Amino acid sequence: MNPILQRAREARAAALAAIEAVTSAAEARGGELRNLTTEEEALVEGHMATVRAAIKTIATQEEFDEARKAAVGHGPTASPAVIVSEPSVYRKNGKHSIFRDMLKAREGDFDARDRLNRHERSIGDEYEVLKETRGRNFVNPFDGSRGTEERATGSASAGSFAPPVFLIDQFVPEAVAGRTIADRLTHGDLPEGISSIHLPKVTVGSVVDTNAEDATLAEQDTVATDLVATVATIGGESRVTQKLLDTSPGTILDEELMRNLTRHYNQRIDRFALAALVAAGTVVAYTDATPTLPELQEAMARAASQIAKVPGLRASDSVLHPSIWYWLTGQKDTAGRPFITPNNGGPNNAYGTNLGPVTDGDPVGDFSSLRAWMDANLPTNLGAGTNESEILVADFSQSILWEGSLRMRVLPTTDGKINNLFQLWSYAACMADRYPAATSVIGGTGLIVQAGY
pLDDT tens digit string along 112-127? 778 877 776 766 555 5
Q: Is residue 68 in some structural domain? A: yes
Q: Is residue 424 in some structural domain? A: no
E strand segments, 282-346: 282-285, 317-320, 340-342
Q: How confident is the model at residue 140 (pLDDT cuts 50, 70, 90)?
A: very low
| CA of residue 39 relative to chain centroid, distance | 27
Q: In this predicted structure, what is the pLDDT of residue 437?
A: 94
Mean pLDDT of the chain: 78
Residue type, 147: G
Q: In this predicted structure, what is the pLDDT of residue 72?
A: 57
For residue 200, CA distances in Å to 222, 433, 450 come to 12, 12, 44
Q: Is residue 338 in some structural domain? A: no
Give the count of domains, the chain.
Answer: 1
More confident residue, 141 or 318: 318
Q: In this predicted structure, what is the pLDDT of residue 359?
A: 65
Q: In this predicted structure, what is the pLDDT of residue 304?
A: 96
Residue 310's Cβ-side half-sphere holds a number of Cα atoms within 13 Å equal to: 18
Question: Which residues does 54 contact at the CB level (< 8 Å), separation at least 6?
Answer: 8, 9, 11, 12, 15, 85
Give one word for 349, left, alpha or beta, with left for phi > 0 and alpha for psi -120 to 50. Answer: left
| CA of residue 452 relative to chain centroid, distance | 31
Lowest-pLDDT choice from 94-103, 150-159, 289-298: 150-159
Indicate whether 274 pLDDT > 50. Answer: yes
Question: Which residues does 244 contact at the CB level (< 8 Å), separation at least 6?
Answer: 253
Residue range 443-450: mean pLDDT, rounded: 95
Indicate whether 261 pLDDT > 90. Answer: no
More confident residue, 66 or 380: 380
| Secondary structure of residue 414 in the 3-state scheme | coil
Residue range 372-396: mean pLDDT, rounded: 95
By CB neighbour count within 10 A (0-12 exposed, 13-18 middle, 19+ buried), where does 276 fall? Answer: buried
Q: Nearest 10 degrees: CA dihedral of 372, 378, 379, 384?
A: -40
Q: In this predicted structure, what is the pLDDT of residue 163?
A: 60
Q: Is residue 147 in some structural domain? A: no
In angstroms, rounded to a whole number, what is the distance separating the alpha carbons of residues 253 and 242?
12
pTM for the structure as a whole:
0.64
Q: Is residue 109 in some structural domain? A: no
HEC assignment per residue over 112-161: HHHHHHHHHHHHHHHHHHHHHHHHHHCECCCCCCECCCCCCCCCCCCCCE
Could you give phi then psi for residue 189, rounded to 5 degrees? -80, 130
Question: Which residues does 333 contact at the CB level (< 8 Å), separation at least 6?
Answer: 339
Share of the chain above pLDDT 70, in %: 75
Could you give phi then psi for residue 305, rounded to 5 degrees? -65, -40
| 354 membership: H or E segment, kind and range | strand 352-354
Q: In this predicted structure, what is the pLDDT of residue 44?
A: 76
Q: How confident is the model at residue 87 (pLDDT cuts 50, 70, 90)?
A: low
Do residues 159 and 198 touch, judged by C-beta distance below 8 A? no
Residue range 79-93: mean pLDDT, rounded: 59
Q: Is residue 49 in some structural domain? A: yes
Q: How confident is the model at residue 173 (pLDDT cuts 50, 70, 90)?
A: very low
Residue range 365-381: mean pLDDT, rounded: 93
Q: Is residue 3 in some structural domain? A: yes
Q: What is the largest CA-CA distance in the chain?
A: 93
Q: In this predicted structure, what is the pLDDT of residue 204?
A: 66
What are the tens digits of pLDDT across the range 296-346?
Answer: 999 999 999 999 999 899 999 999 999 999 999 999 988 888 888 877 666
Q: In this predicted structure, what is the pLDDT of residue 313?
A: 94
Report DSSP state, residue 332: B
Residue type, 271: R
Question: Which residues does 109 contact at the CB level (< 8 Å), separation at least 6?
Answer: 101
Residue range 270-297: mean pLDDT, rounded: 95
Question: Which residues does 123 contact at the CB level (< 8 Å), separation at least 6?
Answer: 153, 162, 164, 165
Q: Is residue 408 in some structural domain? A: no
- 91-95, 325-329, 345-349, 413-417 — most confident range: 325-329
Question: Which residues does 75 contact at the CB level (< 8 Å), separation at least 6?
Answer: none
| CA of residue 29 relative to chain centroid, distance | 25
As beta bridge partners, residue 388 has 382, 448
Q: In this predicted structure, what is the pLDDT of residue 395?
A: 96
- 129-143, 212-226, 413-427 — most confident range: 413-427
Expressed as residue numbers, the domain containing 22 is: 1-87
Q: In this predicted structure, what is the pLDDT of residue 154?
A: 40
